[in-house]
Structure 1
Amino acid sequence: MREDCDDEFDEYAHEDILQALVRHLLTSDELDQLCDDADLPQLTHSDGQPVTITSARTYRDGGVLTLDRGVWLELSDGSVFGLTVQISRRPASEVTLRRH
């Protein structure tokens, strides 16, 4: 039973938590630092300045017309990405949420 679960996560706990985690990770530091930490090349503008994440919103907050969960990213170079969280298989047993 999920009695200690907030309404915020209702029946889509896995999707909502992963969506919140992706959004948090992508806004916790600058994109160039995240690339450095992951040992990936950095995206840069033609003037050498790093591309930054200008907006990271959940699909719902970003007005994306879908029932999927995900994060809508807008970058300083004008590109826009949707990172969708989809479950391919539900857990085999009931899962509860635990606050720390």
Structure 2
Amino acid sequence: MAHDDVDEFGEYTHEEILQALVLRLLTSADLDELCDDVDLPQLTSDGQPVTITAAHTYRDAGVLTLDRGVWLELSDGSAFGLTVHISRRPRGEVTLRRQ
């Protein structure tokens, strides 16, 4: 593992990786496609599919919190924060491995 990998995620490795994963998953396809993939109904507004218009980490979105998470803005004007919160730390040492 390169030294830069550790610096990128800092001491909050779990939160940062889960935050990056959620951000990537929610921006990898349109919201209606993601709903179809998991057999959920699609959100619509005025007969049009609701889409994710912006997705940022809390830090990049300017959310005033020390928590890690993803801020989502949808085409219907709604906004949601998905917070990654640690309830318990891992028992052993955890390292990063690139695939």
Q: TM-score normalised to the size of structure 2?
A: 0.95
Letter in 2 for 1:13: T
Does residue 87 in structure 1 map to residue 86 in structure 2?
yes
Give, in whole Å, the separation in 1 of the partners of 2:27 and 2:15: 18
Using the TM superposition, give the Cα deviation of residue 3 of structure 1 relative to its aligned residue in structure 2, in angstroms: 6.9
- Deviation readout 1:42-72 (Å, 9 max, x if unpaired): 00012x1100000000000000000000000
Q: TM-score normalised to the size of structure 1?
A: 0.94
- Deviation readout 1:20-47 (Å, 9 max, x if unpaired): 000000000000000000100000012x
Give, in whole Å, the separation in 2 of the partners of 1:39 and 1:10: 36
Q: Which residue of structure 2 lines up, in the alignment, with residue 32 of structure 1?
A: 32
Letter in 2 for 1:76: S
Larger relative contact order, structure 1 or 2 (CA cutoff 8 Å, min sep 6): 1
Using the TM superposition, give the Cα deviation of residue 84 of structure 1 relative to its aligned residue in structure 2, in angstroms: 0.1
Give, in whole Å, the separation in 2 of the partners of 1:63 and 1:22: 18
Q: Which residue of structure 2 lines up, in the alignment, with residue 41 of structure 1?
A: 41
Letter in 1 for 2:54: S
Superposition pairs of residues 58-73 of structure 1, within 5 angstroms: 58-73=57-72
Of all paired residues, the percent bearing the same amino acid is 76
Name the count of aligned residue pairs.
98
